[in-house]
A = this chain, B = another copy of it.
Amino acid sequence: MKMDERKQQILLAIIKDYISTAEPVGSRTISRKYKLGVSPATIRNEMADLEEMGFIEQPHTSAGRIPSNLGYRYYVDCLMQLEQLTEQEEGTIRSGYENKVREVAEVLNRTGRMLAQLTNYTALVQTPQLGKCSYKHIQLVLMGPAQAIIIVVMDTGAVHHQMMSVPENITQQDLDQISGVLNAKLQGKTMGSIRLTLIKEIYFELARHRNILDLAIELMQDRIASAKEDKIYLEGVFNILNQPEFHNVDKVKVLLSLLEQEDTLRDILETPGDSQGITIKIGSENNRQEIQNCSMITATYQMGDKIMGTIGILGPTRMDYARVVTVIDCMSRNLSRTLERLLKGQG
């Protein structure tokens, strides 16, 4: 069977209608609302074909048709026409980013809120991945008789800190000395790029403070790099409760218990390969089977030309793909631009 022009139009009509009404679409509706110039009977025949081809399905005998995952996929790949944002929406976004911002975290936070608000779905925003950014400044600060804090500033502007124990007799001068050497050796280096030889150099220069160094380097590598690899902001979780597919509390429960764990969020956001740009995962294409009735649209954002993280929208498979793609595209560009401006130029 071939996919001719008319079949495409009918499929498009079914998908558009289902996206906006959440009700199975019947032949009569199509012939009335989307004037294709043919009678319901003809549409019925075509629909039988589309069903056989796997693009649509029938919830039960006497109901209309709904798109299948394959149908959505075809729509997204071949039929979808992107929407334009309204003047007003563009304005909202622009002013959201133009507003004075000093911190990366704040920008990301705001991004999440705007995404959720503009799409009415749930937004996920991943903070920059530390492995990919480099040390800007390292500072050890004495806190108490045997305690210090190690503060690590990355070139993205992110600041991480961690308590550590130090020998009783250590002074702030000692710590300053250590900080000095660490800075000299590590500044500008990516976390991933630190080699053993470099570490040896540091130990050589600071043989006296061996045990503090052990701890400091362990903290910098393990703790800060792995434990806090990236954080994921969630925004607009309750938006999803407005969708009719989540009027059943059990489904909500499954989803919420999933979203409450950051690990799974990371899993959900992940895209196969290092795909740049926009990725759409529909239903069973998702990494988690708990969200088989959801779709995920993600985009990466970058600083300069390094991809630093991902933002995404989670909604039902019946989501408004055209709109979400437009929004997320616009937002990821704005986000990249803003971050760059924030860090390179002056905030």
Contacts and interface: CB of A to CB of B under 8 A. Distances in A.
Given A237-B260, A247-B249, A347-B165, A149 B159 contact: yes
Interface of A: 102-103, 136-137, 139, 141, 143-147, 149, 151, 153, 157, 159, 161-165, 223, 235-238, 241-242, 246-249, 252-253, 256-257, 260, 342-344, 346-347
Nearest to A145: B346
Given A162-B102, A242-B253, A252-B252, A149 B144 contact: no
Contacts of A163: 102-103, 157, 342, 347
A339 to B, nearest CB: 12
20 contacts: A102-B223, A103-B162, A103-B163, A137-B149, A141-B153, A144-B346, A145-B346, A147-B347, A149-B153, A151-B151, A153-B161, A159-B159, A159-B161, A163-B342, A236-B260, A237-B256, A238-B256, A238-B257, A241-B249, A252-B252
Contact of A139 (B151, B235, B257): B151
**SS of A interface (majority):** mixed
A137 B344 CA distance: 27
A102 B236 CA distance: 32
Q: Which of A165, A253, A344 has the most CB of B within 10 A?
A: A253
Nearest to A236: B260
B252 A241 contact: yes
Contact of A143 (B136, B235, B248): B136
A252 B246 CA distance: 11
Contacts of A162: 102-103
Contacts of A153: 141, 143, 149, 161
A149 B139 contact: no
Task: Please give me the 7 A-B residue pairs with the lowest Cβ-Cβ distance, nearest first.
Answer: A238-B256, A102-B163, A159-B161, A241-B253, A238-B257, A146-B346, A137-B141
A347 B151 CA distance: 17
Given A151-B151, A247-B249, 13 more contacts: A137-B141, A137-B143, A137-B149, A139-B139, A139-B141, A149-B153, A151-B159, A153-B161, A157-B163, A159-B159, A165-B346, A241-B253, A249-B252
Contacts of A235: 260
Contacts of A237: 256, 260
Contacts of A260: 235-238
A258 to B, nearest CB: 9
A164 to B, nearest CB: 7
A2 to B, nearest CB: 43
A237 B234 CA distance: 14
